[in-house]
A and B are shown apart, each in its own frame.
Chain A
Amino acid sequence: MDTMNDITTLHYLIVAATLFTLGVTGVLTRRDVIVRLMSLELILTAVSLNLVAFSHMWGNLYGQVFAIFVIIIAATQAVVGLAIAVAFRRNGEIEIPAAKASR
């Protein structure tokens, strides 16, 4: 069972896909804003993992450069998201109400 010991790129891709699916599910189904922000971070982590795995597979550095940018962008969006959530919280509830007139 030698092949079970080899971790190929595909393993990384499957982990990344799983993280991506979890993140998507979190954003679409959960109601709490903080949980949704965490799910968004999961999505971007999946992207970074994907990129680094592919970078190793191809042997060039494009993926890693893109991954660094994605991590920076994820941080920026987390900051902005939390700032907006804080402002939202100061003015009312933390949850997005399910049925509002603004739908």
Chain B
Amino acid sequence: MLPMVELVIFALGILLIDLLIPREWKWINALGAFVGVLFATACVSRIQFALPPRGLLGFNNSLLVDRFAIYFWYLFLAAAAVSILTSVQCLEMEDEHRGEYYALLLLSVVGMMCMAAGIDVVLMYVGLALTAVCNYLLVGFLRREQPSNEAALKYMLLGTFSYGALAYGLSLFYGLSGGTNLGTIARMVSGLNSQNPVPGLNPHNPAILIALFTTLTGLLFGISAVPLQRWTPAAFESAPTSASGFVSTGVMAAGWALLLRILLFGMWPLRSIYIPVIIFIAIATLTVGNVGALWQTNTKRLLAYSSMAHVGYMLLALVALGTSKIGSPEFLESFKGILIYLAVYALMNLGAFAVVTSLRQRDVIGDEIDDLAGLYKRAPVEAVLMLWFLISLAGIPPAAGFWGKYYVFLSLIESGHRVLAALGVIYSLIGLWCYFRIAKIMFTRTPMDVGRIRAGVALRCAIAITALATIVIGIYPQPLIRSVNWSLGIAPSKIAASPHAAVTK
């Protein structure tokens, strides 16, 4: 059975069971959600082992379950699982431990899976809308807190606006090509450059440009790139911390999946138009992310700005991707770079947010960086783990974050963008400084509040899982790299056909 169907059943089940559960036992919802995610993972692995090399088309050519999709499905499910583990304590502290949270989380994952595996614009848009709506509610889940409502409102307004623009762009693409399948659109777009183009249509036709830029607007919102990045700091700061973790990792990964599908599979020949724009956007995002993080006093906002910085690095890899030939080594390296970066970034961010969750006490909101002061004296294990996550975020070996940056810079240098690589390194140094500012506060200052930090079982599991994964991948990245190679269809010894070939049949 499709994992999406299975997750929907679990989500609806949680909504029903939640009515029967008394207040102290609400963690059963979390358990149900976690079991649902495990079941979905089992479904995905069953599909993976039965998968033909080109992928499975389904539902009237609207769903393409290929290796790219399966990689992202695993990523989403992993992010969801860790988020569920962090949510238990987070919601109990906020006294908003309701089953709807887990149902929304699972439905959001369903939407994300549709985004990653859709090859028809309709399915992708429906998945996107599902994810978006669930995330607005997840961010605004603390109903009694004004900041949470406001953050959800900002997120919703900017999000609906961007996704409306995306729909407008997609409708224009439909109008130009006559079909909603990305393959049809891709064929139309490549027909613009060929020998017998459709009369009156050329790549600089205003309709194509409007379509491209409105689509790009929607896609950039999903990954929180400039100029649509305003929602991220507010949303991450005011949402329940576990929701911030989920949005920063799973939803951004889904946004990347959608971006890669549409820009690379659908609009590859237009890259001479949108790649220069993306260069500018990448640099702007890097600047806002790294420089903005320098004077934040709130840990969650700082993590939000650091997420933007990471998105900036991934956008640099996208630039490298767009300027290389299909199937060439640089193309695959940059593609690999983006996928690996997404995976390690998910782990690091979830870990960091999990540690921040554990700081939330009964009457102290542990969001500010000052609350981290002297963490080493209060909870040494957590301080060391947070230090490890910060090292990983800064991209220092042997932490997992290093591999993400390594592949991004490798792809930049191999495709000849040495200036961009140098810029990336400079921005990394700025980021390094702001991460170590936190580390210095954790280890050297005296603690302001000497309350004991207790982390429940689930939260400790979450921190342990992410820390362990970061350590293991940092030291021994081969399994992750092998799985990324598999998802791109790269044979171990030679470069095989790229996933682009799967669509243009």
Interface residues of A (CB under 8 A from B): 13, 20, 23-24, 27, 33, 36-37, 40, 43-44, 46-47, 50-51, 53-54, 57-58, 60, 62-63, 65-66, 69-70, 73, 76-77, 80-81, 83-85, 87-88, 91-92, 96, 100, 102
Contact = CB atoms under 8 A, between A and B. Distances in A.
A54 B164 contact: no
A65 B125 contact: no
B129 A77 contact: yes
Interface in B133-184: 133, 136-137, 140, 143-147, 149-154, 156-157, 160-161, 164-165, 167-168, 170-172, 174-175, 178-180
Interface of B: 121-122, 125-126, 129, 132-133, 136-137, 140, 143-147, 149-154, 156-157, 160-161, 164-165, 167-168, 170-172, 174-175, 178-180, 233-234, 237-238
Given A24-B161, A80-B133, A96 B150 contact: yes
22 contacts: A20-B168, A24-B165, A27-B157, A27-B161, A37-B157, A47-B164, A47-B167, A50-B168, A57-B175, A65-B122, A66-B121, A66-B174, A69-B122, A73-B129, A76-B133, A80-B136, A81-B136, A84-B137, A84-B152, A84-B156, A88-B152, A102-B233
A54 B171 contact: yes
A23 B170 CA distance: 17
A23 B122 CA distance: 22
A87 B149 contact: yes
A37 B126 CA distance: 20
A58 B126 contact: no
Given A54-B174, A77-B156, A91 B167 contact: no
Best-surrounded residue of B122, B126, B136, B164 (most CB of chain A within 10 A): B164
The 10 closest A-B pairs by CB, nearest first: A54-B175, A43-B164, A50-B171, A73-B129, A88-B149, A47-B167, A58-B178, A91-B146, A62-B180, A40-B160
Contacts, number: 118
Contacts of B237: 102
A76 B130 CA distance: 9
B133 A66 contact: no
Task: Tell me the interface secondary structure of chain A in the complex.
Answer: helix
B153 A88 contact: yes
Nearest to B152: A84
A47 to B, nearest CB: 4
Contacts of A46: 168
B178 A60 contact: yes
A70 B174 CA distance: 14
B125 A73 contact: yes
A85 B153 contact: yes
A100 to B, nearest CB: 8
Nearest to A53: B175
A19 B156 CA distance: 20
B122 A66 contact: yes
A58 B133 CA distance: 32
Contacts of B180: 62-63, 65-66
Given A27-B157, A73-B126, 6 more contacts: A13-B175, A43-B168, A62-B178, A77-B156, A80-B156, A96-B150
B137 A80 contact: yes
Contacts of A58: 175, 178
B168 A92 contact: no
B54 to A, nearest CB: 23
Given A40-B161, A47-B171, A88-B153, A66 B125 contact: yes
B390 to A, nearest CB: 24
Given A51-B174, A102-B147, A102-B238, A81 B140 contact: no
Contact of A81 (B144, B146, B160, B168): B160
